[in-house]
Chain A
Amino acid sequence: ETGVTQSPTHLIKTRGQQVTLRCSSQSGHNTVSWYQQALGQGPQFIFQYYREEENGRGNFPPRFSGLQFPNYSSELNVNALELDDSALYLCASRVGNTGELFFGEGSRLTVL
């Protein structure tokens, strides 16, 4: 039990639509990271928020955006969905700017 919960667990969208994925972290975890994990691949870093500001980003286009809220929840938004966006999206949180990540179980997105 990591104390990180994600919703929804599964969802299906069509190409061109928009999606919002949500994450609730443990109290005190002021850093949240989002990862995309395609089938058979390792998690790919999308971006990270520290105290509600983005402080790191991977090689993902601007249509991937996020928010972090003061209550330790966060969102990942993806606009103009493409078929290749189909993946497991993982949220992970931690205390401070370094150290181990605590992962949620992910949201599996299928884009048709």
Chain B
Amino acid sequence: AQSVTQPDIHITVSEGASLELRCNYSYGATPYLFWYVQSPGQGLQLLLKYFSGDTLVQGIKGFEAEFKRSQSSFNLRKPSVHWSDAAEYFCAVGLYTGGFKTIFGAGTRLFVKA
């Protein structure tokens, strides 16, 4: 069955430090890949997406992600974290299975310490 795995339930980083959030997916073909962010009490906002082409994609708020087909991974990175980045981050895959649907991972909560 198709699945999205985010191994880290929560991560704490210091402000100004680099960040990497991990995401692995299980799907027979290359899916559409997304990262969304959710602040408390809010809906989800798209950070970036990968459909095809260059495997390193740039997103909003200084985030980037790299698709690695051999590892079935799509990890999110940011070189320098700001306190305002504290939120829940969701990796998602879009795939065709009886219609097109987007499946989300369980999320990684990011805490930023001063």
Given A50-B99, A105-B43, A98 and B32 touching (CB < 8 A)? yes
Given A42-B104, A43-B90, A56 and B98 touching (CB < 8 A)? yes
Contact count A vs B, C-beta below 8 Å? 66
Are the CB atoms of B44 and A103 closer together than 8 Å?
yes
How many residues does chain A have at the interface if contact means C-beta atoms less than 8 Å apart? 27
Q: How far is the CB of A47 from the nearest CB of chain B, in Å? A: 9
A104: chain B residues at CB < 8 Å are: 43
Main secondary structure of the interface of B (DSSP, over half): strand
Contact residue among B32, B43, B97, B105 (Cβ-Cβ distance under 8 Å from A4): B43
Chain A, residues 65-100, CB within 8 Å of chain B (1/0): the string is 000000000000000000000000010100001111
Q: How far is the CB of A77 from the nearest CB of chain B, in Å? A: 20
Q: How far is the CB of B105 from the nearest CB of chain A, in Å? A: 5
Q: Which residues of A contact B (CB under 8 A)?
A: 2, 4, 33, 35, 41-45, 48, 50, 55-58, 90, 92, 97-106
Q: List 23 A-B contacts (CB under 8 A).
A: A2-B43, A33-B102, A41-B106, A42-B4, A42-B104, A42-B107, A43-B90, A44-B104, A45-B101, A45-B103, A48-B99, A48-B100, A55-B100, A56-B99, A56-B101, A90-B44, A92-B44, A97-B100, A99-B49, A99-B94, A101-B102, A103-B43, A105-B43
